[in-house]
Structure 1
Amino acid sequence: MIYLKSAYLHVIDREAGLPIFSSVALDLSKEFIREFIEKKITKISNAKAQTGYLSPTSIVNELIMSNQDNFAALNQQVVERWYQCYVESEGAPSCDVLIVSFEREETSHLAFLKMDYQTGFTHAIESNEQTFFTDLLMHRALIPSLSQAASEGFLLELSTKRFELIEKKYEFSGKKMAYLAEKVLQSPVELSFTQQVTVLEKTAKKVGEKFSEEGVAFQATVQDVLATSFVEEEETSVEKIAQHVFQDNPIAQKAFIEEVAEKGVHDDIPTIHNIEKVSAKKFEKQKIKLANGIEVIIPMELYRDPNVVEFVQQPDGTLSVILKDQIVQD
């Protein structure tokens, strides 16, 4: 549940060369404005969002600490700090920026939402002395629609200083780079949920091959363990995943934990706010890739039903995947 407290919309026109700051907050009594902002906030918490904690030495943190009771001043100062970094890019586009003070689960948050302009078309009705006529006009400064996510942004929980972040890469002195975390927030970030899952899957496959744990059955086990860990369990850790995947092999468990740590996935896996919703969507179906290249996609509830899916070891060492009355050879 999101409760909006205050929001300001600022215009960043790169051609004009200076931001246009609004000194008046948006009218949150208007339902369409509330719905628009809430949608943009919700869409930041997605599978590609990176997470981290705002560094105590960050300029943004200093601004927050010195303006705790003055959001009217804070919101503009945060945009000014962001713009100092953003304007250094030769290719970053014009945009609008929303700064929002809101509560989620009774905890105060700050949202920074950057919305790049889009080109759209509309009609114009004109007239002359004889008649009315219509024309087609191109509008080059439309902000994303209600259903579209902000181009970039972050959500910051003020009490813990934990943030979720989506950012894009732009050219700075001829080099394309992401800048929000490094230059604006000045804080390190963890891998996104999507990146974490990819590391876990690939590392499990690599370690499994080393310890003769491979094939369709092992692949299915890895997917099932990850689905259970992220969707059903309250706490997710690399150690628990290792124990479930490599049940009777402590050496393989250790190798798995060490390798994923080297790739940036640590024991206590940080997750985005609506992890249950995101992970449920990610793991609602299981994909099984057979040795002959055939891919089978099975809904999770059917995958876990032995009356629907069964893995059978054949005398020649091959594995059969039995789907109802059909047998697919691996």
Structure 2
Amino acid sequence: MDIYLKKAVMHLIDREVGDPVYSQVELDLTNDYIREYLTKKIQKISSAQTKTGTLAPASPVAEMLPKVAKDFIAFSELLVGHWYQVYKESEEAPNSDVFVVLYEEDAKEQLAWFRVKYKEEYTHFTEMVDQGLLNKLILNRAILGGKTQKADEGITINLTNLTYELVEMKQVFSGEKRFYFSTEVIESVPLPSLDENIRVIKKVAKKMSEKFETPTFDVLANVQEAVFETIEDSGYLDTTEIAEKVFKENISAKLAFQEEVAEKGVHTQAPLVKEVKEISEKKFGKQKLKLSNGIELIVPLEVYRNPDLIEFINNPDGTLSVTIKNVEDIVNKL
């Protein structure tokens, strides 16, 4: 992801003060640490938990977007103010800093909005008192999460086609915890995240394995491998291809699987986040196995399917044996 930052501003959300404290000046993007912080936060909006969608042209946020180029600061206040009218109604929504960033990614103009809540950390403070220089330990209640941490909420919007990537968090409204950003801020119904889709696919696959008397262990292992391969090949979650890879010649299981995942909202070839291949490689490129005797294994997929390196044996008594082969060295990592 090649990001070129153009404009950025930070506004403060202190619930005790009331309305947001709006900055009237942009952040200085000539500072390396500011550019790095903003870039990392934007990059981390793309994850397995990210939802995708397209803004309706008549939605309030979409109608604001043309103002970005005319007056960035004024636009940022308008956007944050629109969001805050919903956010402030939550009983427990925390104090935060909110960032609005205009940037280019692969020569396409994008807008990012993200929120980073405060946390408490200790630091030092030096002051002169009657007795001399005093180094004090103080508690700072407005520390932001580091650059490697994800923003608590965030959205990136392609300003050309209005597609977006969204990470939203549930907040408490009238005693009920619910998502609010998609329904009330951008007024859009996003597609499920990669994680949400995978949970449905695994649950349905397990159900099919029990219904058609296929070993659940093999089915779930095949699901993970099939998910990884379809994303690597096409960049999509192709449920038809997953069904073929998991259930093979069992036509009834394949059809039942596809029908149920579709009913539960998993759409074949549904668009996913831009970085889906990189995310898939980290998340699904290895089989993580926990055996009933307490042993845990992390096995790369290319090793998992190689009988010369690892073998799973069905014993006559119904138990499984796992044989690890041709190991040249063992490193003990404490």
Alpha-carbon distance, 1:325 to partner: 7.8
Q: Deviations over 1:180-227 (max 9, x none)?
A: 111101000121111111111121121122122224333332222122
What is the rounded CA distance, in whole Å, between the counterparts of 1:145 and 1:289 in structure 2?
33
**TM-score, structure 1 normalization:** 0.90
Aligned to 1:146, the other structure's residue is in SS state coil
User: 2:118 — aligned with what?
Assistant: 117
Using a 3 Å threshold, how does the CA distance of structure 1 residues 235 and 129 change in structure 2: closer, same or farther?
closer
How is 1:47-62 mapped onto 2 (pairs within 5 angstroms)? 47-62=48-63
Percent of residue pairs identical: 41
Alpha-carbon distance, 1:273 to partner: 1.8
User: 1:300 — aligned with what?
Assistant: 301
Alpha-carbon distance, 1:254 to partner: 1.6
Aligned to 1:46, the other structure's residue is in SS state coil
User: 1:261 — aligned with what?
Assistant: 262
Alpha-carbon distance, 1:74 to partner: 1.9
What is the rounded CA distance, in whole Å, between the counterparts of 1:231 and 1:321 in structure 2?
28
How is 1:206-221 mapped onto 2 (pairs within 5 angstroms)? 206-221=207-222
Task: Compute the RMSD of aligned alpha carbons.
Answer: 2.3
Alpha-carbon distance, 1:55 to partner: 2.2
Using a 3 Å threshold, how does the CA distance of structure 1 residues 123 and 293 change in structure 2: closer, same or farther?
closer
What is the rounded CA distance, in whole Å, between the counterparts of 1:258 and 1:23 in structure 2?
54
What is the rounded CA distance, in whole Å, between the counterparts of 1:178 and 1:242 in structure 2?
32
What is the rounded CA distance, in whole Å, between the counterparts of 1:101 and 1:325 in structure 2?
53
User: 1:74 — aligned with what?
Assistant: 75
Aligned to 1:253, the other structure's residue is in SS state helix
How is 1:1-330 mapped onto 2 (pairs within 5 angstroms)? 1-65=2-66, 67=68, 69-288=70-289, 296-312=297-313, 320-324=321-325
Q: Deviations over 1:40-96 (max 9, x none)?
A: 101111111122221233211111145554433322211111011111112212111
Amino acid aligned to 2:249: D
What is the rounded CA distance, in whole Å, between the counterparts of 2:247 and 2:268 in structure 1?
16
Aligned to 1:20, the other structure's residue is in SS state coil
What is the rounded CA distance, in whole Å, between the counterparts of 2:15 and 2:110 in structure 1?
28
Asked if structure 1 preserves the Cα contact closer than 8 Å seen for 2:236 and 2:272, the reply is no
Asked if structure 1 preserves the Cα contact closer than 8 Å seen for 2:206 and 2:216, the reply is no
User: 2:330 — aligned with what?
Assistant: none
Asked if structure 1 preserves the Cα contact closer than 8 Å seen for 2:9 and 2:100, the reply is yes
Amino acid aligned to 2:22: F
Aligned to 2:259, the other structure's residue is in SS state helix
Asked if structure 2 preserves the Cα contact closer than 8 Å seen for 1:49 and 1:272, the reply is yes
Asked if structure 1 preserves the Cα contact closer than 8 Å seen for 2:227 and 2:237, the reply is no
What is the rounded CA distance, in whole Å, between the counterparts of 1:93 and 1:216 in structure 2?
42
Asked if structure 2 preserves the Cα contact closer than 8 Å seen for 1:303 and 1:309, the reply is yes
Asked if structure 2 preserves the Cα contact closer than 8 Å seen for 1:12 and 1:97, the reply is yes
What is the rounded CA distance, in whole Å, between the counterparts of 1:325 and 1:126 in structure 2?
65
What is the rounded CA distance, in whole Å, between the counterparts of 1:138 and 1:171 in structure 2?
27
Aligned to 1:148, the other structure's residue is in SS state coil
Number of equivalences: 326
Q: Which runs of 5+ in 1 are unaligned?
A: none
Asked if structure 2 preserves the Cα contact closer than 8 Å seen for 1:217 and 1:311, the reply is no
Alpha-carbon distance, 1:149 to partner: 1.7
What is the rounded CA distance, in whole Å, between the counterparts of 1:28 and 1:298 in structure 2?
43
Asked if structure 2 preserves the Cα contact closer than 8 Å seen for 1:10 and 1:22, the reply is yes
Asked if structure 1 preserves the Cα contact closer than 8 Å seen for 2:209 and 2:216, the reply is no
Alpha-carbon distance, 1:288 to partner: 3.9
Amino acid aligned to 1:271: L
Aligned to 1:147, the other structure's residue is in SS state coil
**TM-score, structure 2 normalization:** 0.89
What is the rounded CA distance, in whole Å, between the counterparts of 1:151 and 1:208 in structure 2?
37
Alpha-carbon distance, 1:7 to partner: 0.5
Amino acid aligned to 2:153: E
Q: Deviations over 1:273-313 (max 9, x none)?
A: 21112111112321345677865432223113221123455
Asked if structure 2 preserves the Cα contact closer than 8 Å seen for 1:154 and 1:166, the reply is yes
Asked if structure 1 preserves the Cα contact closer than 8 Å seen for 2:235 and 2:276, the reply is no
Aligned to 1:212, the other structure's residue is in SS state coil
What is the rounded CA distance, in whole Å, between the counterparts of 1:233 and 1:53 in structure 2?
21
What is the rounded CA distance, in whole Å, between the counterparts of 1:70 and 1:129 in structure 2?
50
Asked if structure 2 preserves the Cα contact closer than 8 Å seen for 1:120 and 1:142, the reply is yes
Amino acid aligned to 1:133: L
What is the rounded CA distance, in whole Å, between the counterparts of 1:176 and 1:317 in structure 2?
45
Using a 3 Å threshold, how does the CA distance of structure 1 residues 288 and 94 change in structure 2: closer, same or farther?
closer
Q: Which runs of 5+ in 2 are unaligned?
A: 328-334
What is the rounded CA distance, in whole Å, between the counterparts of 1:117 and 1:316 in structure 2?
56
